[in-house]
């Protein structure tokens, strides 16, 4: 991928897309093509076709998606299914039509079966039922991975897909109704600290285990894959390390400095019991994460603390 190549980062203002842009710029890639959702609605087929026809990007990172936590996925399944299918269908097809040299599509670890053997290998995809609380999102993302493989098989496109674990970072969504667990915990702990609340309530039992990757590490992995990986099927991106939600909550509590109690609402769903990715394939390609979880949470909290206050 040449330094002057025209690179389209779809979703460049989101958690992942902004980190990919930052990494590309740090590495000397200067010809980034970026559009806000107001400038280009990726759900609109004609608009995406016109964009590709006029701009003719050579490389594409598909980091645009409608995302959210358990509440959002459970409340708006139709939106998660329709909007994600529309976004990825439009981008992947137009990338083929206009001869994009290489495309990276980002899936998600939540699209693996709910009760996967651990750690989760790439070949476990579609071997069992999905987690019901986010199956609409998962089905859309599975379709995107299969679409990349189909265009590779039928047309010879260099379209690859990656499976990141749970993400966090400075441009995360900290809205309690729509956020994932880590930014929600940061928001809850901070609010409780500044308002003097005696306790923070956390959904579920606290026993599910999760793996977390900083968005800067994911961006480095995405660039590494664009340069060194060209095979069908997804490849996992993660740390290979996990911890329970209760342990995560305790870590966030310590970083934020909240001194109250943690209470678990066991009437609320836990989601998948465990999601730990097998990252041996990407390690074999020469990539490994660098940001440890406590350090990453501390950095993110320092950045967003003024905004949350």
94-147 pLDDT tens trace? 999 999 999 999 999 989 998 899 999 999 999 999 988 889 999 999 999 999
| pLDDT (tens digit per residue) in 79-99 | 999 999 999 999 999 999 999
Answer yes or no: is 100 within a domain: yes
**Domain CATH for 24:** 3.40.50.720
Number of C-beta neighbours around residue 282 at 10 A: 25
DSSP 111-133: GS-TT--SSBPGGGTTSSPPPGG
Through-space distance between the first and last CA atoms of the chain, rounded to whole angstroms: 42
Q: pLDDT category, 271, cuts 50, 70, 90?
A: confident
Residue 217 lies in a domain: yes
Take residue 170 and report the two structure tokens written for it: 């400075």
| Helices 245-256 and 181-195, axial angle in degrees (round to 10) | 40
Which token pair is 181? 């667990």
Are 219 and 22 in contact by the 8 Å Cβ rule? The answer is yes
33 is in an annotated binding site: no
Task: Tell me what pLDDT residue 178 has.
Answer: 65
Residue 138 counted as domain residue:
yes
14 is in an annotated binding site: yes
Cβ contacts of 69 within 8 Å, gap of 6 or more: 178, 179, 180, 181, 184
Q: Which of 59, 110, 121 is nearest to 84 (CA)?
A: 110
Task: Answer whether residue 254 is part of any domain.
Answer: no
Q: Are strands 274-275 and 209-210 parallel, antiparallel or unpaired?
A: parallel
From 29, 112, 137, 151, active-site residue: 137
Three-state DSSP string of 57-113: CCEEEECCCCCCCHHHHHHCHHHHHHHHHHHHHHHHHHHHHCCCCEEEEECCHHHCC
Q: Within a domain: residue 136? A: yes
Could you tell me where the DSSP H helices lie in the chain? 15-26, 45-55, 70-75, 77-97, 135-155, 181-195, 215-228, 245-256, 280-284, 293-308
Q: What is the pLDDT of residues 38-75, one digit of tens each?
A: 999 999 999 999 999 999 999 999 999 988 777 788 88
* Count of the separate structural domains present in the chain: 1
What does the pLDDT read at residue 67? 83
Is 308 marked as a binding-site residue? no
Compute the distance between CA of residue 56 and CA of residue 307 in angstroms, rounded to an integer.
38
Nearest to 280 by CA among 113, 110, 123, 107: 123
Read off the pTM.
0.94
Q: Is the pLDDT of residue 221 over 80?
A: yes
**Distance (Å, whole) CA 161 – CA 149:** 9
Q: How far apart are CA 110 and CA 97, in angstroms?
A: 30
Residues 133-192 have pLDDT tens digits of 889 999 999 999 999 999 999 999 999 999 999 999 988 888 876 677 899 999 999 999
Q: Cis peptide leading into 18, omega within 30 of 0?
A: no
Nearest Cα to 90, choosing from 42, 125, 34, 126? Answer: 42
Consult the annotation and say whether 11 binds a ligand. Answer: yes
Q: Which domain holds residue 62?
A: 7-171+211-240+277-292
Q: Is residue 200 part of a domain?
A: no
Report yes or no on 302 lying in a domain.
no
Sign of CA pseudo-dihedral 153, 156, 157, 162? positive
In the sheet with 274-275, reading across from the earlier edge strand, the strands are 243-244, 209-210, 274-275
**Residue 17 is labelled as binding a ligand:** yes
Does the annotation place 16 within a ligand binding site? yes
pLDDT tens-place string over residues 11-22 = 999 999 999 999
Active site residue 137: yes
């Amino acid at each position: 991928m040449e330094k002057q190549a025209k690179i389209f980062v779809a979703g460049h203002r989101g958690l992942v897309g902004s980190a990919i842009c930052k990494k590309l710029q740090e590495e000397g890639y200067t010809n980034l093509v970026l559009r806000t959702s107001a400038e280009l609605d990726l759900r609109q087929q004609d608009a995406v076709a016109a964009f590709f026809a006029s701009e003719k990007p050579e490389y594409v990172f598909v980091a645009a998606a409608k995302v959210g936590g358990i509440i959002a996925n459970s409340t708006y399944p139709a939106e998660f299914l329709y909007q994600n299918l529309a976004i990825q269908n439009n981008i992947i097809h137009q990338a083929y039509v206009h001869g994009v040299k290489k495309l990276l599509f980002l899936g998600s670890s939540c699209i693996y079966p709910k009760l996967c053997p651990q750690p989760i290998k790439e070949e476990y995809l579609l071997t069992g039922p999905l987690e019901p609380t986010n199956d609409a999102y998962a089905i859309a993302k599975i379709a995107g991975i299969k679409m990349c493989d189909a265009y590779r098989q039928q047309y010879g496109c260099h379209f690859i897909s990656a499976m990141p674990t749970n993400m966090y970072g400075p441009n995360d969504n900290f809205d309690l109704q729509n956020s994932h667990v880590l930014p929600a915990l940061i928001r809850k702990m901070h609010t409780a600290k500044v308002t003097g609340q005696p306790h923070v309530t956390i959904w579920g039992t606290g026993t599910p285990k999760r793996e977390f990757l900083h968005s800067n590490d994911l961006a480095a992995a995405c660039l590494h894959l664009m340069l060194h990986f060209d095979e069908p099927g997804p490849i996992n991106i993660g740390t290979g390390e996990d911890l329970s939600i209760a342990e995560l909550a305790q870590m966030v509590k310590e970083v934020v400095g909240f001194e109250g109690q943690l209470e678990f609402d066991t009437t609320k769903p836990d989601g998948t019991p465990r999601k730990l990715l097998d990252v041996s394939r990407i390690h074999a390609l020469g990539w490994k994460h660098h940001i440890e979880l406590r350090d990453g949470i501390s950095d993110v909290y320092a950045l967003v603390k003024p905004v949350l206050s």
